[in-house]
Every structure is written in C-alpha cells, then in structure tokens.
Chain A
Amino acid sequence: MKKTVFLGALTVAGLAAGAAAAATLDDVKARGKLNCGVTTGLVGFAAPDSNGEWNGFDVSVCRAVAAAVLGDATAVEFVPTTGKTRFTALASGEIDMLARNTTWTFSRDVDLKFTFVGVNYYDGQGFLAPKNLGVSSAKDLDGATVCIQTGTTTELNLADFFRANKIEYQPVPIETNAEAQQQYLAGACDVFTTDASGLAATRATFENPGDHVLMPEIISKEPLGPLVRHGDEEWSDIVRWTLNALISAEELGITSANIAEMSAGTNNPEINRILGTEGTLGEMLGLDAEWAKRAIAAGGNYGEIFAKNIGEATPIGLARGLNAQWTDGGLLYSPPFR
C-alpha cells in the first residue's frame, strides 16, 4: 500500500493497490478499523451530523458490520465516494465494503466483479416536480427539462422511459446532488429525477417541502445494497449475514431494547442461534458467538434503523412499502439462521 501512495500521482496506480489481498477479514482485524465507502452526503442514508459523526441508513450497515467483526460499532473509517469513484475505491481495496445506495445490476455483479450481499433498500427511480407545474404524471412531461444526478443508473432508465413513452425531454446531467438541487430550485429544470428515496431525502432539505410532489411513476427497479469485492467469500459471507441478522432480528422481534434479555436464552431456537446461545454459527463465520448480538445492538434491528433514519417520523418520511418484512407484504426475506 505504501508504494501505491508514493506513486499515487498516476491514475492507473489507483487501481493497483492490494486488489489481490484476499483475506479482508484479517486486514480489517489487523487495522482495527473497517473502511466503509459511503456517499459524500445524502441526508438519512449517509451524512455527517453537526458533530461530524456519520449517521444514516447505509451508515448503520457499516456500523453493524464493524460491531460484528471488531466488537466496536464506532471503529469505522467512513470514506466518502462519488458515483464515479466508488467502484474503483472498492476494487482497489481502499474500502472493505461499499454501502452507498448502489443498485444491484447484472453488469456490476458479473462484469465489474463485485458481490452484492443483499438488498437493504428496494428503491425505484422517480420524479420530483414543483406543485405549481400542474403535472400529475411523468407521462405528461413531454418536452420537459430534466435534472439528473449523474453517476447512477438514472440516465439509462430515464432514456428508456421517455423512449418507451415516445416523448421528448432535455437532460441536464449534474454531478452532485447539491448542484442539481440548486438548478431544480432555480427553475433551470422542470423536474428532478433520481431514486425515489433520494428524492424524498432531498425534498426534506428544501425550505418548503410541501411545494414539491413526487410523481406516482416509479420507472425502474433499484435494489440498493451493500457490496464487496469478488473473490473473498469469507468476507462477503460476514457482510451478507450481518445484514440478514438485522432483517431476521426484526422478523423475530429482537430489538435493541430487549436484546440483553433475549440473549439470556429464549424458547425460540432461531433467536438463540442468532444471539449465539445455541449452535456455533459465529465460529463458522470466523467470528465469535456474539457477533450478531453486537451487530443488532449497534443500531437496533432493520426496522429500528429504518424508522430512526428514513422512516415516517423523520423529515424524510419514507413509508416501509416494499421494504416491509415479507410477513407484512414487503420484500424483505432473510434466509433462515441454521
């Protein structure tokens, strides 16, 4: 790694660092810190608060993994990445995992050699428009100017949607959310498009959020989830099952409030297996028995994390929708712990 820093002036060298390092778990343990790639700032998902502490829905996944692996939810080095730099950062080993509302797609999984460990938010691309524009459907947007935050799958979905509906538009691709937001508010574009969750988060920061509406159309499937490099299955298992532990915890009713009580032992063998009082699941992962207990205790179960960061009680105000447990009609379905 040292050598790479030394020669870092060359762009190509950026990709050279330690891509071959297979044992991510050992690296993380030796370092004592988890390097987690997040956005450069999207309120509710990953953004530093007034004390410089990173908070948010994606951040909680990083913290849960750090708690499981290192026993300390604060032992995370958050690396802000842009849409452009995130994959290079992950491929080069600069970060151990990426939790940055990244859509799970075929080419990213297969061609770019990443492993998506699951989905922590089922999203879709939507449109945000001012109320006084008087548009009720995205299909009425013929001829409109559309601001796009680049660096996502957004541009492609947008082109497909307008082509499929045989209507025209003018794209204005803007690199950062902040700039795009400013363009939208100044009226330089009629509508703003990105993932619906991102739109809700952006709208929450507006002076008058009530003056803007989300169009009913969701024009794409955007399963967002954390990802790691191909080739280190031990590490991808850890991240995958940490995420699954958070989801299962909600399903099974383990919360940050009752976790101490439950870890004394319950009648439900699956809860016992997750919390490490029964079986040897932690050992199989290369961790200790209480890994999942710490992960859940770090920020609560999936439902608690959701409610605290982006749920309906927060300014972002997202409903659970597709992100409810399968038992409640949503898509969240964790494989069993046994």
Chain B
Amino acid sequence: MTTFTDPPSESFRLSMLLNDTRYRSYTFQFIALLILIVMMAYLGMNLVRNLAAAGLNISYEFLDQPAGYDINQSLIDYNSQSTHMTAAVVGIINTLLVAFLACLTATLIGVVAGVLRLSKNWLVSKLMAAYVEAFRNVPVLIWIIIIFTVVTAVLPGARAYLGEDPEYDLFLGMMAFTNRGVYIPALIWGPGSGVVAAVFVASIFGVFAYRRYARNLLFETGRLLPMGWPSLAILIVPSLLVFFVMGQPITMDMPDPLANRFNLRGGLQIGAPLIALWLALSIYTGAFIAENVRAGIQAISKGQTEAAASLGLRPNRIMNLVVLPQALRVIIPPLISQYLNITKNSSLAIAVGYADVTATLGGITLNQTGRAIECVLLLMLFYLVISLSISSIMNVYNKSVSLKER
C-alpha cells in the first residue's frame, strides 16, 4: 500500500544557502558584495588615516578663494579675481561647448561616411574605409596634437594681418584665419534687436508648422508641396523685413587689424585650441559613428530596399524614408556611448591649451591649491553627472525611435 505524503515542508535550513541552487547564488552575491564593501572601506580608511598622519585634511574651502589666474576662453564673466568655483564653472561650460559641437559634427561626419562606405562607387567606398581605419586606429590625443600642429604651422601668425600694409587682407573684409584662431564678425545687439530675434525664433516654429501642414496634405490628398525653398523663405524673409523695418538694430563688430600691434581686436575669436580639439574629436569619433551607421544600415534586410525600389522610390528617398529610420534603432544605443566618449575625451584639451574643466579645476586650480584629492573627486563627479545626463537624454530619444509593438 502506498501512502501519499505531503511534499516535504519548505522549512528553510541554513545549509540550504550552500546546497540549494535556489539560494546558492544569493549567498555568493552577498559574499562578493561584502568583499567589495570591505575593500572600499579599507581604501577609504587608508586614505583618511594617511592624510591624518601627514597632517592633511579634505577641505573644499579653496573653492571660495580667488583663483588668481586668467582663462583665455570664457563664455561667462570671469577675471583673475573670480573664485576657483567660477573658474571651474568656466571650465565646465567650455567642456560642454566643445562636447556639444563635436557631437553634432561627429554625427554628421559619421552618418555621411557610414552611408558612403556602403556606396557602390568603388573609389568612394574605399576612401571612406581608409578614413575610418586611419582615424579609428590612432589614439585621439595624437590626432589632437597633429591637427593643432597643422593649424599652427599652416595658418599665418596674427601679425600677418596687422598694420596699415598687412601681408594678408581680411577675407571678405571680415574674417581672418590665423594660427591663434579664426576671427569672425561679432553681432552687436542694439535696441530693438530683441524684436528681430523674436521674429526669427517665431519663423523657426513657422517652418515646422509649414512642414507638418505639407506632410498632412500629402498624406490626405496626395499633393506634394515643395519643401526646400518655402522653408528657407519662411525662415529668412520675415526676419529680414523686420530687421530693415526696425532700422537695422543688429550691427556687426569687425575684427580690427589696426587696434593692437600683437593681435586683431574686436570681432569674435574662435581660438585655435577650440578648433583643433573640436576638429580632432569630430573626425576621430566620426569614424566610430560611421561604423555604427554602417552596421545599422546593414542590419536592415535587403527586402526593405527592394520593396521600396519596387514602389518606385528613388535611392535617395529609400535611404531617407525607409532604411535610415529603421537603422536608427540599431544605431542609437552605440551612438550614446560615442557621445560619452566625446565628452570624456575632451579632457585631453590641456594638450593644446584649451581651458576645459580638466585644465582649470583639474589643472591650474589643483596645482595652485595642491588639493589634488578634492579636485579629482569633483572632476569625477562632474564627468559622472554629465555622462549620466547624456545617456539618459539619449535613452529617451532611443525609446522614441524604437520599434513600438502594437
């Protein structure tokens, strides 16, 4: 006779932590975590103990002291009497500026190179392959220095533009290309210029509204409105009209070759360090993005292209309307890490004298105050915050283009 017994009750025994596969992994995870915590604690204690033994302390008071040094590129008000904190903020803004510019151009270069690398034209695709391999396989620091050296060696010194009878004349009477940077006219916002700016911003919205209208019209009636020139007209014409109606409130400040014996005065100077860093980061990361784009495009099945072609779409439109939107799903996630790379690689700026946050807070401030640990911790915090922000913003975008299953 068989008796049915209940399955053994699920009473938890300590030995199950090792013997039962359901719990064993937790045990090991817990041990690993414990070891990690102990190690970090040991390092932290070691640091504190040794600092105390050397009579040093961790203090951020230096951030309120006057920095005492000048910075060559500052988008906010800064002079040598500003605090170390302000100097750090100037550096942060400069980092963000170069990272932003480089992300834009790297994406542009990367998409173009990635698409062209798949071109059926042998020369074009091989040229792009050569570009990708050359730039991807040489460290970015070397590219930064090469480009900076080329910029300083090829372009004339600022003095070539100076004086009554200069060696070089201003390009179009308004631009100068020197090895200290490019000088372009700066805009002076006179009274009433706010109206012009407001109209311009409104026109940008107008362009979007027109494009939406045109698209809806296309979907509903099949009528195709021209896109290119009306957009351009909407963007420019109202602003121009208002500009003249208001009596030309925005004027240009030209670089002046006569004001100073060493440098051009006036205008807007885009420093050579910024140009070199921007260019180097763009084309270096552009090579990586090109590969991402190529991978994304090749991930789209050939059937899609063929189906689009059989509908009579031109190759240009196939790429823009069918392939790229689908490829974006594959491209965006690795693109995020390329953007993070750009931001982090911008810390090589000091090699060419660009005042990013590593050069101000992590360079001169660190050096002048000797507060190495404090400065490095702040730098780590900054890069962490920036990187996490970029990746969260890009993740939102990724969600918006990812496949929505219905």
Q: Is the CB of B152 within 8 A of A183?
A: yes
Q: Taking the complex as formed, is B109 at the interface, i.e. its CB lies under 8 A from any CB of chain A?
A: no
State the CA gap A229–B54 with chains docked (Å). Answer: 8
Give which listed residue, A111, A171, A174, A183, contacts B70 with CB less than 8 A.
A171
Q: Taking the complex as formed, is B320 at the interface, i.e. its CB lies under 8 A from any CB of chain A?
A: no
- Enumerate chain A residues within 8 angstroms of B367, measured Cβ to Cβ: 83-84, 150-152
A155 to chain B, nearest CB (A): 4
- Enumerate chain A residues within 8 angstroms of B372, measured Cβ to Cβ: 15, 87-88
- Enumerate chain B residues within 8 angstroms of A141, measured Cβ to Cβ: 262
Q: Taking the complex as formed, is A163 at the interface, i.e. its CB lies under 8 A from any CB of chain B?
A: yes
Give which listed residue, B153, B158, B265, contacts A145 with CB less than 8 A.
B158
Give which listed residue, A83, A143, A156, A230, contacts B55 with CB less than 8 A.
A230
- Enumerate chain B residues within 8 angstroms of A87, measured Cβ to Cβ: 370, 372
State the CA gap A57–B353 with chains docked (Å). Answer: 29
State the CA gap A16–B145 with chains docked (Å). Answer: 34
Q: Is the CB of A188 within 8 A of B157?
A: yes
* With A113-B56, A150-B363, A231-B55: A187-B353 Cβ-Cβ less than 8 Å: no
State the CA gap A141–B263 with chains docked (Å). Answer: 11
Query: From A3, which residue of chain B is reached at the shortest CB distance?
Result: B46
**Per-position 1/0 for A182-194, Cβ under 8 A of B:** 1100111110000
Q: Taking the complex as formed, is A173 at the interface, i.e. its CB lies under 8 A from any CB of chain B?
A: yes
Q: Is the CB of B47 within 8 A of A155?
A: no
Q: Is the CB of A11 within 8 A of B376?
A: yes
Q: Is the CB of B53 within 8 A of A20?
A: yes
Q: Is the CB of A111 within 8 A of B370?
A: yes
User: Could you tell me which residues of chain B, from 192 to 213, have a CB within 8 Å of some CB in chain A?
Assistant: none
State the CA gap A188–B367 with chains docked (Å). Answer: 25
Query: From A7, which residue of chain B is reached at the shortest CB distance?
Result: B43
- Enumerate chain A residues within 8 angstroms of B159, measured Cβ to Cβ: 187
State the CA gap A34–B69 with chains docked (Å). Answer: 36
- Enumerate chain B residues within 8 angstroms of A188, measured Cβ to Cβ: 152, 157, 179-180, 272
- Enumerate chain B residues within 8 angstroms of A252, measured Cβ to Cβ: none
Q: Taking the complex as formed, is B260 at the interface, i.e. its CB lies under 8 A from any CB of chain A?
A: yes
Q: Is the CB of B43 within 8 A of A13?
A: yes
Q: Is the CB of B72 within 8 A of A15?
A: no
Q: Is the CB of B260 within 8 A of A142?
A: yes
State the CA gap A147–B148 with chains docked (Å). Answer: 15
B164 to chain A, nearest CB (A): 16
State the CA gap A178–B261 with chains docked (Å). Answer: 27
Q: Is the CB of B54 within 8 A of A113?
A: yes
Q: Taking the complex as formed, is B71 at the interface, i.e. its CB lies under 8 A from any CB of chain A?
A: yes
Q: Taking the complex as formed, is A337 at the interface, i.e. its CB lies under 8 A from any CB of chain B?
A: no
B291 to chain A, nearest CB (A): 29
**23 A-B interface contacts by CB (under 8 A):** A7-B39, A7-B43, A12-B43, A12-B376, A15-B50, A83-B367, A91-B56, A113-B55, A143-B260, A150-B367, A160-B68, A160-B80, A170-B72, A172-B72, A172-B273, A173-B350, A173-B353, A175-B350, A175-B351, A182-B152, A186-B157, A187-B159, A190-B262
Top 10 A-B residue pairs of the complex, sorted by shortest distance between their CB atoms: A187-B157, A20-B53, A155-B69, A159-B80, A143-B260, A19-B50, A144-B262, A112-B370, A186-B152, A19-B54
